Structure 1
């Protein structure tokens, strides 16, 4: 029995896919309105075992269609400070705070489809830019001392090699969780050519990531010798230690690639590469129940590598073309011979790029 494969949203012919990076353009292309929870909206109040809803003027909402839409959003009962968009076509449908006071979001389904499509369309451009990114980071890693560019290059190389989330200071302060740029010295250990990271990441999950790379180990060891708690700091012209954050990393990526790439593009690329690799390892006839079972297993392995749930991993980090090709029996073997040039795409990466290019044409 053939397995149904969900087809990703594609931009209309009249819309330039590059424009969809702009969130307002994304909303317009999906037939939605771009909205903010700073505007007047519907508020939720607890009433016994249920809730009542009121508009921006404080009047109770009794319209059955509106109540049905709100219930369809499945907003968790534990959320507080709930804001609900009064417009069913708003790109953002609801926000609130969970039990740990973290802000949570409910988006319109069409908005997620558009944003996922944009992310995957970026993948071809990102793959094309990878050799340029690798060559420039290699040059910056050879800079003497500990200048800003060298630290940023080390972070980008670690992003690619470890697949750790880039992190941000706001999330660290609100949730006590860490990403690469917010790691502290206590989260890293260097033993010879090996670097060991151990930290609490998103959702409080413990991450243990090991990397064997003599040059990066040497550089991380030097990071650990710089006074201060932050792992990633550079030394300015006066020798004063300055921290690096995720915005610095994304700005550096834009500078060296000439494109609007971010740290997250590394994880999306890695997730798709890993999925293709794991699926190639399976020996199952296409479009069978066995193939579906192997697909679930492969996605779970990718999720474990990225520190995501399988559902999030499949929806946000694995290009649909890889899944479709696998179920159709179209994932071709990869030639093992590698190029001498360390900056070029690997045979595995070139194979994926060819698959994605064929899907996009």
Structure 2
């Protein structure tokens, strides 16, 4: 019998990070379960209908709605009645996938918080890696061993963790929601091919004997879900993103999550690439070099340049490059150099830079 794993009771005791970010941003936490504004097509334009079934005429409200740039193709559009709501609008795109529009201030705070924790995450990485290596050597197919496999894949492939709701509704996948059809194991080589977020085709892999053995054993279990484990009662359970995040919290004692691996990867990849870029003679040369590196990192992470620069490359890395100090960092490894940079910049309280 297969059961779903997870930590629902533990999650209920933990405050919602989105609500915390909304409060920090000075915004109201909102959901599309609240009464909102509907969008109704009228010929070549749209009318906006408030909760009281009246057409919105207020100029300020209409200006706010237009500023959200909600695509005309979206259906089932909900728009918050609150100008200071952290979630401003939701809708379904042409493929039926749920999309969101957030308040700009909420995005700024979320991105800043994500970067603020990078130095702590980098410092915790050796501890995480030691635990992963130990758990990969466990006998059988216990939960810790399968979670450790996913954590190793998070770090080496830059893949997303996955969300079952997205898998069910959008048929887009991440590591914890992969199906057996998405993997091919050949000796110590493991290759994954699946549709990821925004319909992007993801093709990643790893050559690792221990990981390959675990993935092969998972693949041989009954059921279509790839990453399952055997609990103490001998029953199969499906692994979830909550299991992975709890594993990271148990190791570090901090609220790190699977998403931090991608932010760290973006920051580290950009720093390594910029350290190898030839010196620049002008501000324009520096900007071109930064854009080229960001484009390369964005391709590896499966993002646009703007999203990668804003949310996945720590601004301190770009600042250090344009100031000419990135290449002077002296450390035993690239990771140590970037960690030293983040600590130094954190002490100085350097703000975020604008996207290229």
Which whole-Å deviations, capped at 9, do the CAs of 1:219-242 have from their partners, x for residues lacking one?
A: 222222223222211112343322
Given that residues 193 and 214 in structure 1 are in contact (C-alpha distance below 8 angstroms), is that contact kept between their aligned partners in structure 2?
yes
* 1:154 aligns to 2:149 (yes or no): yes
CA shift for structure 1 position 30: 2.1
* Contact 2:74 2:93 survives alignment (8 Å): yes
How many aligned positions are there?
334
1:318, distance to aligned residue in structure 2 (A): 0.7
Q: Which 10-residue stretch deviates more, 300-309 or 110-119?
A: 300-309
Residue pair 1:147, 1:234 contacting (<8 A) in 2 also: yes
CA distance in 1, matches of 2:100, 2:154: 26
Matches within 5 A, 1:163-202: 163-202=158-197
Contact 2:160–2:175 (Cα < 8 Å) also in 1: yes
- The answer to whether the 8 A contact 1:166-1:263 is kept is yes
Take 1:58 and 1:95, find their aligned partners in 2: how far apart are those partners? 19
| CA deviations over 1:3-62 (Å, ceiling 9, x no partner) | xxxxxxxxxxxxxxxx99843342233222222222222221111110111211111211
Alignment of 1:166-245 (within 5 A): 166-245=161-240
Displacement after TM superposition at 1:214 (Å): 2.1
**1:39: which partner in 2?**
34
Distance 1:224 1:284 in 2: 49
Query: Contact conserved, 2:316 with 2:345, CA < 8 A, in 1?
Result: yes
Say which SS state the counterpart of residue 271 (structure 1) adopts. Answer: helix
Query: Structure 1: any 5+ residue segments left out of the alignment?
Result: 1-18, 338-346
- Answer yes or no: is 1:312 the counterpart of 2:275: no
Cα shift at 1:182: 1.2
Deviation at 1:178, TM superposition (A): 1.4
Q: Which runs of 5+ in 2 are unaligned?
A: 1-13, 348-356
* 1:75 corresponds to which of 70, 78, 81: 70
> After superposition, where does 1:46-65 map in structure 2 within 5 Å?
46-65=41-60
> What is the deviation of 1:267?
0.6
Asked if residue 264 in structure 1 is aligned to residue 259 in structure 2, the reply is yes
Question: How far 1:215 sits from its partner (Å)?
Answer: 2.1
Residue 144 of structure 1 deviates from its aligned partner by 0.8
CA–CA distance in 1 between the matches of 2:217 and 2:51? 55
* Change in 2 beyond 3 A, CA 1:232/1:313: same
Instruction: Please give the alpha-carbon distance, in whole angstroms, between the structure 1 residues aligned to 2:34 and 2:224.
Output: 39
CA RMSD, Structure 1 to Structure 2 (Å) = 2.0
Local SS of the residue matching 2:144: helix
* TM-score, normalization by structure 1: 0.87
Are positions 1:352 and 2:338 aligned together? yes
The answer (yes or no) to whether the contact 2:295–2:305 under 8 Å persists in 1 is yes
Q: Which of 92, 104, 111 is the equivalent residue of 1:109?
A: 104
CA apart distance, 1:218 = 2.4
Tell me whether 1:253 sits opposite 2:248 in the alignment.
yes
For residues 40 and 237 of structure 1, the distance between their equivalents in structure 2, rounded to whole angstroms, comes to: 46
The answer (yes or no) to whether the contact 2:163–2:176 under 8 Å persists in 1 is: yes
**TM-score, reference length from structure 2:** 0.89
3-state DSSP class of the match of 1:332?
Answer: helix
C-alpha contact (below 8 Å) 1:276/1:322 kept by paired residues: yes
